[in-house]
Amino acid sequence: MGLVAAALILPGLLPSSSTDQVAYDHFLNRVAAAEVTDVLVDNQTGGITFVDDAGTTFETTGPLELSIDDRRLLADSGAAVRFETPQPGFLQNWLPLLLPVSLIILFFWWINRRAQGQMSGMMSIGRSRAKTYTTERPGTTFDDVAGYAGVKQEIREVVDFLKEVEKFAEIGARVPKGVLLVGPPGTGKTLIARAVAGEAGVPFLSVTGSDFMEMFVGVGASRVRDLFESARKMGRAIIFIDEVDSVGRKRGAGLGGGHDEREQTLNQMLSEMDGFEGSEGIVMMAATNRPDILDPALLRPGRFDRQVVVPLPELDDRRQILDVHVKGKRIHEDVDLDVVARGTPGMSGADLSNLVNEAALIAVRNGDDAIGADHFEDARDRALMGQKRESMAMSDEEKEMTAYHEAGHALCAALLPTADPLHKVTIIPSGMALGVTMQLPAEDRHTYRRDYLEDRLTILLGGRMAEDLVFGVTSTGAGNDLVQATETTRKMVREWGMSERVGPMAWGSQSQVFLGDDLMHSRDYSDETAHLIDQEVQRILTKQEARCREVLTDHRHALDLVARSLLEHETISGEEVNRLVAAATDTTGATGSATTPNGAPEPMEPTVSDPSVADQN
């Protein structure tokens, strides 16, 4: 195609002849006047080149076949007349033949390459798909992983072993063959593994559990063999398998038996992990958020010797994680990241990253040039409650009932002694809720006392009881409150031993059916015990409902004040609720331990809340 284009285009681009062009009649006149001495006629194009008696060369174009009169005129003129037929070159002769032949050859070559590519793909289907990272591609390091000092220390031991084998060999220490990273989603398990690639200084082979699964039988086991063989060839290396639970589930479990291909892949992995010695310098790492479904043979010593828990970040960890995510962002001076960190209990690193990004998006939408504290507040509300539905039209009756519903929650939260500090109350529809009462814990909680849980049940029932106390009826707005209250009470009775009649016995939640552990029987206690559990759940809920009614009845004036404030402002802070409760208490003179304003620390200005303490209408 290039040759054809050159043959067609280049002649037109070449410079034309500088010879003077004249008309054919002018040529004949000069011949008749005997002023032409030499004539050259091209039989193919009809072009005529002639030289006059002064030695000047001219060109003209005549007919392809000269007439008899023109020939006689040239013969009588005495000029030297020559007729020439140019011979075609090699390209002009063979191009019409070479072009189709070349196209046919190229077509068969392309077909052959396609067939070879398919065959090579079939032959390489059993090869490992692991990505190899070397010292030339450091990527993420431990400096990029904020917090988790204990986790990084355990992982750093593996890195140090691969860098300094002699230091461990001198004392006779044996480094674990496998390290399993366990933790909730979003806590940075994969990020920590990527940091190992930057710190180890040895090849790092990264693969996901799903890469071993294929439609062909035996492919998973073949890829496991190829993966470990590639690691052995590298000498010291780290093998990282992300989401290992996809291939490491318990064998022989589930409805209809296990997945034979997956089990063969797991068998091959177990064999390979026992097939190399610690002196070979190969360490295997894996990450999962479901360690309970892993096969016991995978977790025994000699395979995954050490389990490193990557929990949800604590206060100091959240502060360091926020420092990482605000880099490169324009933060207003009114933002206190310590306050933001204190107000984000239960948030993972991924949640904090999303929080900062959402605050930046809100700042851009509002036309601000920096991210302020109010943007973090709005981002927290959106992450916790969902997008505000300010355009949703509510009737006056619905709005008033919602205001009293949320006022009931807020009043109980402000009065009960062990309740978490009240942060904000709103009747603006957000997400699936018509209103939200938000509490933020003063500090991270790891255990929950019985009195705290009972106060929480009272708060959950506060909205429903406020509707019944003021309007004499209840609505469907308390549906989510009742679900949370019932689940919490059932755990108190069945799992946490907080019932005198049931006693210090615990029955865990039901196992997953696909594991096959609890398929034939649904519970491990008798029908009489189940009936007793139901009675205790009902008794506890009824008792807390009566307690809630007593609190709201004793502080009816405060309930009305909070509800009217919500109807007027739609959103009020926890400090405002406490002020209204204190004003109503001073007016009515109500006293008592259950009716004293909450003595917990003043609500801080955090940006997100633990979903477990956010009550949605």
pLDDT tens, 179-197? 888 888 888 887 887 777 6
Share of the chain above pLDDT 90, in %: 9
Q: In what order do the strands lie in the sheet with 80-84?
A: 20-21, 57-61, 47-52, 36-42, 80-84
Sign of CA dihedral 114, 119, 122, 128: negative
Confidence at residue 520, expressed as pLDDT on a 0 to 100 scale: 46
C-beta separation of 403 from 568 below 8 A: no
Tokens (6 digits) for 70: 């023109």
pLDDT at 4 over 80: no
- What is the length of the chain? 617
Q: In what order do the strands lie in the sheet with 422-426?
A: 571-573, 422-426, 436-439, 614-616
The span from the CA of 263 to the CA of 211, in Å, is 15
Q: What is the CA radius of gyration of the chain?
A: 43
pLDDT digits (tens, 9 = 90+) for 303-329: 887 888 888 888 888 888 888 888 888
Question: H/E element holding 90?
Answer: helix 90-123
Say which of 199, 358, 406, 454 is annotated catalytic: 406
Pick the CATH number of 315-385 from 3.75.10.20, 3.40.50.1220, 1.10.8.60, 3.40.50.150: 1.10.8.60
Q: How far does Cα 227 stand from its chain's mean position?
A: 26
Q: Scan for tokens 């410079």, then name that residue.
A: 15
SS3 79: coil
Comparison of pLDDT for 4 and 496, the residue scoring more:
496
The span from the CA of 540 to the CA of 490, in Å, is 10
CATH fourth-level superfamily of 396-507+523-616 = Peptidase M41 (1.20.58.760)
Q: How far does Cα 314 stand from its chain's mean position?
A: 22
pLDDT tier, 535 (very low <50, low <70, confident <90, very high otherwise): very high
pLDDT tier, 593 (very low <50, low <70, confident <90, very high otherwise): very low
Looking at this protein, which amino acid is placed at residue 199? Answer: E
Tokens (6 digits) for 125: 């289907």
pLDDT at 486 over 90: yes
Q: Where are the domains of the chain?
A: 2-84, 131-309, 315-385, 396-507+523-616
pLDDT at 55 over 50: yes
Q: Scan for tokens 């506060």, then name that residue.
A: 462
Please give the full DSSP string across 424-493, using - where no structure is assigned: EEE-S-BTTBS-EEEE--SS--SS--HHHHHHHHHHHHHHHHHHHHHHS---GGGHHHHHHHHHHHHHHH
Confidence at residue 539, expressed as pLDDT on a 0 to 100 scale: 93
pLDDT digits (tens, 9 = 90+) for 341-360: 877 777 888 888 888 888 88
Looking at every residue in the chain, the average pLDDT score rounds to 76
pLDDT digits (tens, 9 = 90+) for 446-479: 788 999 999 999 999 999 999 999 888 888 888 8
Please give the full DSSP string across 194-236, using - where no structure is assigned: HHHHHHS-S-EEEEEGGGG--SSTTHHHHHHHHHHHHHHHHSS
Predicted TM-score (pTM) of this structure = 0.61
Instruction: Report CA-CA distances (Å) from 383 to 186, 352, 577.
Output: 15, 10, 23
SS3 615: strand
Please enumerate in sequence order all residues whose Cβ is within 8 A of that of 600, keeping only pairs 6 or more positions apart, or say none. 419, 420, 421, 442
Active site residue 314: no
Confidence at residue 596, expressed as pLDDT on a 0 to 100 scale: 36
What CATH class is the domain 131-309?
Answer: alpha beta
Q: Scan for tokens 């030289």, then name that residue.
A: 51
The angle that helices 396-415 and 450-471 make with each other, rounded to 10 degrees, is 150
Closest CA to 485 of 556, 402, 543: 543
pLDDT digits (tens, 9 = 90+) for 362-415: 888 888 888 888 888 888 877 766 666 666 667 778 888 889 999 999 999 999
Between CA 299 and CA 308, with CA 302 as vertex, the angle to 5 degrees is: 50
CATH topology of domain 2-84: 3.30.720
**Which range among 78-87, 163-172, 328-337, 565-574 shows the weakest confidence by mean pLDDT?**
163-172
The angle that helices 556-569 and 527-554 make with each other, rounded to 10 degrees, is 80
Greatest CA separation found in the chain?
A: 144
Between CA 60 and CA 68, with CA 65 as vertex, the angle to 5 degrees is: 100
Please enumerate in sequence order all residues whose Cβ is within 8 A of that of 243, keeping only pairs 6 or more positions apart, or say none. 208, 209, 210, 287, 288
The span from the CA of 300 to the CA of 304, in Å, is 6
pLDDT digits (tens, 9 = 90+) for 216-260: 566 777 777 777 877 777 777 788 888 888 777 777 655 444 456
